[in-house]
């Protein structure tokens, strides 16, 4: 393992952790980087500027796939409760949500176009967590882009955890894609939905080979989960988390941290990272890093997947479908569906259905 300083002139300390940097780059080897850094909270344009800086740096090390943390664009509201107690929401909490909503992005939208252009400019696969705005509901979403600058699609988090259910909507089975790419089959699940065995099994059934797990979990047990998934799925697991300090959030009283006896100091660590890359054998290739913002890079030998599957193929030779099986419902779930028939009161003069009355 080598620790390579970032280029001069950078305000933040970004370290490159490069594994197997001298190995022969055969066609079965993929160089992947997980980004451990903080968002610029409430400032999406500045966050996108930071994304470009980090993508450029990782691409400079020859990375072909770059993973950013959960909701990197839009930010994770550590310490906030949005003024919520049972039976009441405060005026400040509602204003906090308004600002959070304003920092989210539309998918598709101009920010998505910019991210796609970045992937094309630096010729990388880019997987990045964002706060998606769909009308007045927000989603914890992962977007994927290819080196041609094409937006491939999204995954919305299935099950927001605890108080996250107050400010994020729920994904459904229509957004659990695995992309068949020249680097291998790439997909993503977010944070604690990686603890959902049936959801993991669905990803395995789609043949996932490079399993991305953006997160905000920095507890020691997270490494155990990532190692287990790598061995269980016979795949490479990449997990990216933010490393952020209190000063990366607006100062009080604009932004306060609840549940603490006193307001943390500006240098207090809010999220300590723990980003990691694990091989199908359970070997940790890079990380975990709990010390600073960092770029963690490893060379993934895809031949390891075949060796691991020889031991254990969870949806193949090690499955028992006559005893245990799984049905995944992939149709989108909408709150409202519109139908039309001969008595439709919303028929226009042209005979086409128009469910929004125009005046």
The 10s digit of each residue's pLDDT in 264-302 is: 889 999 899 999 999 999 999 998 999 999 999 999 999
- Is residue 78 situated within a structural domain? yes
Can you give the pLDDT at residue 343? Answer: 56
Question: Known catalytic residue: 291?
Answer: no
- Is residue 92 situated within a structural domain? yes
Can you give the pLDDT at residue 348? Answer: 41
The number of domains in the chain is 1
- Is residue 319 situated within a structural domain? no
Q: Which residue has the tokens 């307001």?
A: 263
User: Which of 70, 193, 232, 304 is labelled catalytic?
Assistant: 70
**Residue 8: CATH number of its domain:** 3.60.110.10
Contacts of 135 (CB under 8 A, 6+ apart): none
Can you give the pLDDT at residue 139? Answer: 96
Can you give the pLDDT at residue 12? Answer: 42
Can you give the pLDDT at residue 27? Answer: 53
Nearest to 198 by CA among 326, 51, 62: 326
Can you give the pLDDT at residue 299? Answer: 96
Question: Known catalytic residue: 157?
Answer: yes
Can you give the pLDDT at residue 82? Answer: 84
- Is residue 91 situated within a structural domain? yes
- C-beta separation of 236 from 210 below 8 A: yes
Task: Specify the 3-state DSSP secondary structure of 124.
Answer: coil
Task: Report the distance separating Cα 276 and Cα 274, nearest Å.
Answer: 6
- Is residue 347 situated within a structural domain? no
Q: Which residue has the tokens 């290739």?
A: 285
In the chain, what is the straight-line distance between the N-terminal and C-terminal CA atoms, in Å?
Answer: 67
Nearest to 168 by CA among 196, 131, 127: 131
- Is residue 326 situated within a structural domain? no
User: Which of 111, 132, 191, 293 is labelled catalytic?
Assistant: 191
User: Which of 157, 209, 232, 304 is labelled catalytic?
Assistant: 157
Can you give the pLDDT at residue 290? Answer: 95
Nearest to 241 by CA among 68, 100, 116, 84: 68
Stretches where the chain sits below pLDDT 50 are: 1-26, 345-355, 357
Q: Exposed, middle or buried: residue 314 (CB in 10 Å: 0-12, 13-18, 19+)?
A: middle
- Is residue 26 situated within a structural domain? yes
Averaged pLDDT of the chain:
87
Can you give the pLDDT at residue 358? Answer: 53
Task: Report the distance separating Cα 339 and Cα 355, nearest Å.
Answer: 10
Q: Quote the domain boundaries for residue 281.
A: 2-311
Question: Known catalytic residue: 191?
Answer: yes
Question: How much is the pTM?
Answer: 0.86
Q: Exposed, middle or buried: residue 83 (CB in 10 Å: 0-12, 13-18, 19+)?
A: middle
Task: Report the distance separating Cα 196 and Cα 159, nearest Å.
Answer: 9
DSSP string over 34-94: EEE----TT-HHHHHHHHHHHHHHHHHTT-SEEEPPTTTBT---TT--TTEETTEE-HHHH
Can you give the pLDDT at residue 18? Answer: 41
- Is residue 47 situated within a structural domain? yes
């Amino acid at each position: 393992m080598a620790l390579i300083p970032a280029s001069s002139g950078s305000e933040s300390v970004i370290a490159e952790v490069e594994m197997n940097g001298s190995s022969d780059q055969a066609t079965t080897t993929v160089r992947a980087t997980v980004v451990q850094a903080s968002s610029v909270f409430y400032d999406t344009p500045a966050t996108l500027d930071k994304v470009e800086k980090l993508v450029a740096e990782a691409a400079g090390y020859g990375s072909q796939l770059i993973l950013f943390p959960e909701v990197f664009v839009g930010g994770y509201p550590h310490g906030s409760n949005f003024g919520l107690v049972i039976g009441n929401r405060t005026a400040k909490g509602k204003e906090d949500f308004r600002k959070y909503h304003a920092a989210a992005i539309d998918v598709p939208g101009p920010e998505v176009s910019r991210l796609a252009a970045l992937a094309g400019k630096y010729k990388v696969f880019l997987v990045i967590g964002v706060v998606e705005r769909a009308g007045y509901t927000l989603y914890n979403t992962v977007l994927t882009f290819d080196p041609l600058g094409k937006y491939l699609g999204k995954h919305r988090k299935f099950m927001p955890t605890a108080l996250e259910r107050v400010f994020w909507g729920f994904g459904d089975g229509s957004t659990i894609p695995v992309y068949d790419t020249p680097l291998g089959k790439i997909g993503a699940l977010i944070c604690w939905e990686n603890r959902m065995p049936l959801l993991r099994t669905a990803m395995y059934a789609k043949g996932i080979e490079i399993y991305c797990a953006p997160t905000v979990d920095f507890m020691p047990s997270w490494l155990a989960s990532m190692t287990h998934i790598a061995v269980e799925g016979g795949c490479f697991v990449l997990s990216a988390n933010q490393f952020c300090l209190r000063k990366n959030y607006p100062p009080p009283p604009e932004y306060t941290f609840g549940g603490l006896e006193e307001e943390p100091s500006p240098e207090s660590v809010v999220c300590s990272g723990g980003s990691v890359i694990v091989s199908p054998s359970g070997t940790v290739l890079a990380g975990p890093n709990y010390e600073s913002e960092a770029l963690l890079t490893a060379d993934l030998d895809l031949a390891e997947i075949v060796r691991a599957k020889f031991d254990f193929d969870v949806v193949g030779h090690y499955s028992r479908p006559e005893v245990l099986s799984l049905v995944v419902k992939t149709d989108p779930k909408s709150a409202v569906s519109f139908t039309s028939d001969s008595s439709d009161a919303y028929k226009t003069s042209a005979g086409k259905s128009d469910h929004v009355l125009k005046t």
